[in-house]
A = this chain, B = another copy of it.
Amino acid sequence: MSLLVVGSVAFDNVETPKGKVEDALGGSALYFSASSSMFTDVRLVAVVGDDFPDEPVNFLKGRGVDLSGLHQVEGKTFRWEGRYGADLNEAETLATHLNVFGDFKPVLSEEYRKSEYVFLANIDPCLQRDVLDQVESPKFVALDTMNFWIDSKLDSLKETLKRIDMLVINDGEARSLGGDNNVVRAARNILKMGPRFLVIKRGEYGALLFDGEEFAFAPAFPLEEVFDPTGAGDTFAGGMMGYIANKDSVSPEILRQAMVMGCTMASFDVEDFSFNAMRNLTHPQINGRLNAFRNLIHCTDFASPGKA
């Protein structure tokens, strides 16, 4: 099934304890597409400047991503500069240069408007609604956001939340948006704002899915070498939405599998800078890690034994 992603394409300057990269390819839409295109046909909407190279465009085309929605305009591409300390769970943003992204107004082609699955990456909630206005009859819409919008445009964000099916945010964002430090109560509060499903990303601790009645949990894969967590959240969302679009289902079973797939894809992403780990990834490699995931949480059924 067709999967539309609207978000950023960027150059990143990133420093982690493992090293430093400049002008690395990044942005939510790139990470999301590189991941989700393993599973389904992806349509990308974003804007880049005239400094953006052909190589990543050709790579994604080779993966079957429709890039007719990637608009190239005069000026410089969006740039993010960030640093990770010993705690790789959170980046310190050193600089954000919106550049051509500052005037981003997503316009969808006739074909894009017929998309069935939609992922609205972290952009202004008002733009996210603009996109939704253009999609004719989406089957399932997922959305990411960040503390910046929760703090500065809460009312606009709440308008958008009424129109989506699944919100995908991190732990701190969930506590902030839900107005409660307890993640269960925060999750309940968030679902009252509109979405049917909430996914909470917890970095190296995994992810939680809440449908208003019960929680499902998937761990992060314990990795010996984490090079760069940049894009892990969008790679996770790409794995999850790509799997959902592939299966054309949001049954409880498919959603749980999709979350495990999201964690799996994210576990590859962080093993290299930029989305390099996605470039040569194969389905047998993905299956290998899915097996390792299964083993990680495997526990045979048992009951409380009482005293022997």
A interface residue numbers (CB < 8 A to B)? 1, 17, 38-41, 64, 86-88, 181-185, 188, 202, 204-206, 208, 214-219, 222-226, 243, 246-248, 253, 256-257, 260-261, 283, 286-287, 290, 294-308
Out of B181, B185, B223, B297, name the residue touching A217 (CB < 8 Å). B297
14 A-B contact pairs sorted by A residue (CB < 8 Å): A17-B181, A38-B304, A40-B307, A40-B308, A183-B222, A184-B223, A206-B219, A208-B222, A217-B219, A246-B307, A247-B305, A248-B308, A256-B299, A257-B302
Q: Are A256 and B298 in contact (CB under 8 A)?
A: yes
How many copies altogether? 2
Neighbouring B residues of A307 by C-beta, 8 Å = 38-41, 64, 246
Q: Are B181 and A257 in contact (CB under 8 A)?
A: no
Q: Are B208 and A215 in contact (CB under 8 A)?
A: no
Q: Are B202 and A205 in contact (CB under 8 A)?
A: yes
| Interface pairs A-B: 10 shortest CB-CB | A205-B205, A286-B304, A86-B181, A184-B224, A283-B304, A217-B219, A257-B302, A256-B299, A215-B222, A246-B308
Q: Are B306 and A39 in contact (CB under 8 A)?
A: yes
Neighbouring B residues of A287 by C-beta, 8 Å = 303-304
User: Closest Cβ of chain B: how far from A64's Cβ, in Å?
Assistant: 7
Out of B41, B182, B260, name the residue touching A224 (CB < 8 Å). B182
User: Closest Cβ of chain B: how far from A209's Cβ, in Å?
Assistant: 10
Question: Which of A218, A219, A286 has its CB near the most chain B CB atoms (within 10 A)?
Answer: A219
Neighbouring B residues of A204 by C-beta, 8 Å = 183
Q: Are A300 and B184 in contact (CB under 8 A)?
A: no
Closest to A85 in B: B181
